[in-house]
Chains A and B, each alone.
Chain A
Amino acid sequence: MQNVTFNRKHLLGIRELAPGEITHLLDTAENFRDISRREIKKVPALRGRTVINLFFEPSTRTRTSFEIAAKRLSADAINISVSTSSMSKGETLLDTARNLEAMAPDCIVVRHSMAGAPQQLARMGNAPIINAGDGAHEHPTQALLDALTIREYKGRIEGLKVAIIGDVLHSRVARSNIYLLTKLGATVSIAGPGTLVPAEFAELVEQGLSVERRIEDAIEGADVIMILRIQRERQDAAFFPSMREYAVHYGLHPKHLERAAADAIVMHPGPMNRGVEIASEIADGSRSLILDQVTNGVAVRMAVLYLLAGGGHAEVDADATERIKHAAKAETRNGTTNGKRKRKQGNETPNR
């Protein structure tokens, strides 16, 4: 079969994905984008399926985005917000997993402050797990929506120069983006205060990543500038002297854009600290794609839910693949083609 498909049960991170799987996710998301532009923003693909949004950390954007995505696919979305403060995290997760399993969900979207929590859920239960952010580890759907946005405006990922500025240390968004962008052939420069952008990050991926101290150096010639949020809630240790000082030295200001490519785009995963990591005139300016990112987030999550929460049995499809292969072989033998036939499979409907 010529089309690479996505046959995983879970989406836990970008790191383990092959470039072809990422591209398939992006292609699928692209075709889901226009459902949100229709008058009736709903298709029946996941009718009767249950998606649980299990959030152990506060989130408005991501949770809403997953909820809207599920509903536009006709799935029933249930939101559960759990506070971890009073309980031992391991116990809570195990208990919660057992309880949820008993309600037979078709997919669980999980956000947790502990890195590896989605992996643990995936091992414990039967339902497909989507990682909606685990600690400082990964946030795969954010990286996918960023990539979809870049592709929409730049037409490609390969060969682009991307600068990621800010609190890389605490950022799952940065990690997932670094994996994704380098896998698809972009070069990434990260920059920020030494306490938040350790030099060891250069070893995160084999190639395509450089660590800069001055944000000007990272932005030089960049096609894409991604600004990370200063995570005030994770700043109990003194990583930098003050917000004001951070804004002066590491905030993105209009003068920085002169160093970037003439058609550079600016992204931010939200929520923004205006005037800290990004100047308001950039956030609201013509290069800012912050709201496009949000729109693409719904499309990406629809694609991921469609691919993971739809049920189905791998052996049935293996059968179909066999059938197609045999049909092609038979054609060749019977001389109805001249040998190499390009068959596009995948959207053929057997039950026409």
Chain B
Amino acid sequence: MDFIEKARIMDSPRINRALARLASEIVEENHGAGDLYLVGIRRRGVPLAERMADKIADLEGHRPPVGIVDITLYRDDLSTVGAKPIVNRTDLPGDIENRNIVLIDDVLYTGRTIRAALDQLIDFGRPRRVQLAVLIDRGKEHRELPIQADYIGKLVPTKKSEIIKVMLQEFDEEEGVVIVERPPGETG
């Protein structure tokens, strides 16, 4: 079984422009950066959160704090995933109490990762508000939980057989977003 690259939907400048727009939408919606607190979901949500924090700093002159959540221990499929996934650290510096949290991830698909991140966040305190920003939304029809994004870089309706690959220079050799597909007949 091999994957076929079907389309390249974003390159580095487009990712950058999308993040700039998301940053300004976030600031507008939250009336500035004062109570903002960005939380990146490991792994690729983390560099996205850092970049968005930089852009918010450019706009507002104040860089919101950036935290990291690792959802591994909150996954709902831990007992079925075989060899245990590697656990990384969750790091939420300072206090999230009464902050306006923006959760940030690269792709919104089933919503299960976001559920896990929300559960974890609530174990750390009681934010005033939690919003969700994603670079790619694969479309509502894939959702397995009642979770939607408040800020969307790009809406990319996809088939279940397709996979969205987000590549960021922090982890990958290049930047870009591509759609790859399993050959027909394969399920995953």
Contacts and interface: CB of A to CB of B under 8 A. Distances in A.
B82 A338 contact: no
A236 interface: no
Among B74, B83, B108, find the residue whose CB has the most chain A CB atoms closer than 10 A. B83
B75 A349 contact: yes
Given A42-B123, A43-B74, A327-B3, A31 B87 contact: yes
Contacts, number: 130
A144 to B, nearest CB: 15
Interface in B38-80: 42-43, 70-75, 77-80
A80 interface: no
A189 B178 CA distance: 56
B172 A352 contact: no
Contacts of B178: 336
A274 interface: no
A34 B2 contact: no
A331 interface: yes
Contact of A316 (B82, B91, B125, B172): B82
Q: Is the interface of A mostly helix, strand, loop or mixed?
A: loop
A307 interface: yes
Interface in B116-132: 119-120, 123-125
Contacts of B125: 39
Interface in A40-55: 40, 42-45
B109 A351 contact: yes
A329 to B, nearest CB: 7
Contacts of A18: none
A38 B124 contact: yes
B171 A344 contact: yes
Contact of A312 (B5, B80, B123): B80
B180 A330 contact: yes
B109 to A, nearest CB: 5
A247 B122 CA distance: 53
Contacts of A303: 87
A45 B86 contact: no
Nearest to B92: A38
Given A31-B89, A338-B173, A352-B108, A317 B81 contact: yes
Task: Report the contact-size class of chain B (Cβ under 8 Å from the partner).
Answer: 35 or more
B108 A347 contact: no
B82 A315 contact: yes
B78 A45 contact: yes
Contacts of A307: 84
A313 interface: yes
Contact of A351 (B86, B112, B174): B112
Contact of A311 (B79, B85, B176): B79
B43 A347 contact: yes
A5, A32, A42, A330 interface centre (most CB from chain B within 10 Å): A330
22 contacts: A34-B90, A34-B91, A38-B124, A44-B73, A44-B74, A45-B72, A45-B74, A303-B87, A306-B73, A306-B84, A312-B78, A312-B81, A318-B82, A323-B188, A326-B3, A327-B165, A331-B180, A336-B174, A337-B173, A338-B173, A341-B172, A351-B112
Interface of A: 3, 5-7, 27-28, 31-32, 34, 38-40, 42-45, 73, 303, 306-307, 310-318, 320, 322-323, 326-327, 329-331, 333-334, 336-338, 341-342, 344, 346-352
For the complex of A and B, list the 6 residue pairs with the smallest distance between their C-beta atoms, beginning with the closest.
A317-B82, A330-B3, A346-B86, A43-B73, A45-B73, A311-B79
